[in-house]
Amino acid sequence: MTKNFNIGLMLLLMFSFAKGFAQEKKAFALFSQAGEPLTYQRILDSISKTDVVLFGEFHNNPISHWLQFELASDLKKNNINLILGAEMFETDTQEVLDRYLSDSLAESDFRKKARVWTNYNTDYKPIVDFAKSTSTPFIATNIPRPYATKIYKNGGFSALDSLSQNEYKLMAPLPIPFDSELNSYQNMLKMMGGHGGEDLVKAQAIKDATMAHFILKNLKPNQVFFHLNGSYHSNDFEGIYWYLKTYNPDVNILTISTVEQNELNSLCEEHLNKANFIIAVDEDMTKTY
């Protein structure tokens, strides 16, 4: 009996050990917009066949930034004609960015002149330096902040009427298409409790329109433009996506969104249909700032 008991105990321990591995804690999970679990390879294969990728990140989420780097790196390894771009760089810094990428500007000068974000070192330097080391073009796509601020604080789009022709080159052609009834813009107003009114939404719209404009301006045939932006700029197939399709209905676009959940076995209903591909990250994941 003792022998049988020991064998039973051993089997129980082995089962518990195996079960523990099966329930290993995950840092993130990948899903389709319908909530179907996905593999990294399936996302990579899909991206290889599109024109534009809008990677919606949480700016302080390390999983977002790691997957951006991995996808860009693997696309390059697969000989995809890749171009990178980012919300984090404003269009008036393109020359500075180009000089840094061509190794004709010291990094310290680049950081100052490009007005890099405070989390640049941890979150964006790896992919910028990847572009530099692989001779991959990197496009500054966002409107310079002062112009968006003008719209918000000085009466809407008309605040830009007095700009010079050179300044107009730094943004989407005016007047931009504008639909204040898009859900993302209406939700923004609700989140702000109505403060800022429609001019707040217009400031967001000029950013979305400018990013879309510079993506299309720099996109070449048989190329994948891999764009980094806050998830709110492309969630629900609005924002940058809406402007890309408005400017060019034939462009093929894939969107990625980052969300946070307390468990990763399935995608929460509230996150369904946010994007073509959804990265669900454990809500306890450390933040980069």
pLDDT per residue, tens digit, the chain (289 aa), is: 444 444 444 444 444 444 444 567 899 999 999 999 999 999 999 999 999 999 999 999 999 999 999 999 999 999 999 999 999 999 999 999 999 999 999 999 999 999 999 999 999 999 999 999 999 999 999 999 999 999 999 999 999 999 999 999 999 999 999 999 999 999 998 887 766 689 999 999 999 999 999 999 999 999 999 999 999 999 999 999 999 999 999 999 999 999 999 999 999 999 999 999 999 999 999 999 9
Instruction: Give bridge partners of residue 124 from the DSSP assignment.
Output: none
Centre a 10 Å sphere on the Cβ of residue 69 and count the other Cβ atoms it contains: 16
Distance (Å, rounded) from C-alpha 45 to C-alpha 288? 29
Instruction: Say yes or no: domain 28-282 is CATH 1.10.1060.10.
Output: no
Of 176, 119, 112, 110, which Cα lies nearest the Cα of 138? Answer: 110
Residue ranges of domains in the chain: 28-282
Distance (Å, rounded) from C-alpha 102 to C-alpha 245? 32
Exposure string of 241-265, with b = 16+ CB inside 10 Å and e = fewer, is bbbbeebbeebebbbbbbbbbeebe
Q: Residue 280: exposed, middle, or buried by beta-carbon count in 10 A (0-12, 13-18, 19+)?
A: buried
Residue 193, pLDDT score: 75
